[in-house]
Amino acid sequence: MEKVFRDYNKPDVNAAVRDHYRKMRERQTFEYVQDMQRKYLMFNKPMDLWDAMIHLNDLIDVSDPDLDLPNVQHLIQSAEAIREDKRPDWMQLVGLIHDLGKVMFLWGNDEDGTSQDEQWGMVGDVFVVGCALPESCVYPEFNKLNPDMSDSRYSSELGIYEKHCGLDNLTLAWGHDEYLFQVLQHHKGNLIPEEGMVMIRYHSFYPWHSGGSYTSLRCDKDKKYLEWIRDFNKYDLYTKCNKTYDLEEIKDYYLPIAEKYLGEGPIYW
């Protein structure tokens, strides 16, 4: 039987996944996201890429119904599948690092939802803040718990946005995608192509890339984004399995690619 991914209603999806999404919907408001951007986008903590990888050995993503291995294993599985398909080296690198923004748990806390125990400000499918939540969100029954949905500024179809303003002008729920995107955007000498940066930034935006929502906010340029993200999503989602790798063993292959696109110095988180 073919394996089914992202089935949030299967009996063995544990209560923690549902609870995670309830908290995320309840607490990720427009104001919360502004606060997190101010707080976390400081770019003042130097750490090597490979050290960040090692730290993801300590994190299991609670929002993932399909995998309960340390996150670094998911990163290697994604990268290896991209490599096996002989896709470009920058895309292999993107596979390897796309979830590295989760290192924010190292300096995060329970209150912000950015810790090992409370991950609702760090992982899980994201949505737009500042406008109505779509039914395509997982567990849409939690949408009404979001305080912004009873605030007339934020609860209409367009909310604070202009019609067809495009993806890059939206504010999404706070999490590891936007965090890594901003960190790399800020990183001097970053040579990862635009496609790769888009894959990093929007890979968790399921209501948009898989749910077909937010049609009135889309612009022409977003069509291209959608193609890139769907292409990447195959490797992010369908490679999840129980095969594990040794980070040290894959280092010889991937580190030179990382250095080609990101240089040799530390990254400022």
> Which residues of the chain form contacts with Fe ion (CB under 5 A)?
99, 236
Closest CB 76 distance from Fe ion, rounded Å? 11
Residue 239 structure tokens = 């490679």
CB closer to Fe ion, 1 vs 4: 4
Closest CB 186 distance from Fe ion, rounded Å? 19
Closest CB 23 distance from Fe ion, rounded Å? 18
The alpha carbon of 186 is separated from its chain's Cα centroid by a whole number of angstroms, namely 18
- Long-range CB pairs of 31-38 (<8 Å, 24+ gap) are 32/121, 32/129, 32/174, 33/129, 33/171, 33/172, 33/173, 33/174, 34/171, 36/112, 36/114, 36/121, 36/174, 37/174
CB closer to Fe ion, 63 vs 146: 63
CB proximity list for 5: less than 8 A, separation 6 or greater: 66, 237, 238, 240
CB closer to Fe ion, 118 vs 236: 236
The candidate with the shortest Cα–Cα distance to 123, out of 168, 174, 75, is: 174
CB proximity list for 198: less than 8 A, separation 6 or greater: 225, 228, 229
Closest CB 9 distance from Fe ion, rounded Å? 21
- Cβ–Cβ < 8 Å for 70, 152: no
CB closer to Fe ion, 99 vs 118: 99
CB closer to Fe ion, 64 vs 222: 64
Closest CB 102 distance from Fe ion, rounded Å? 8
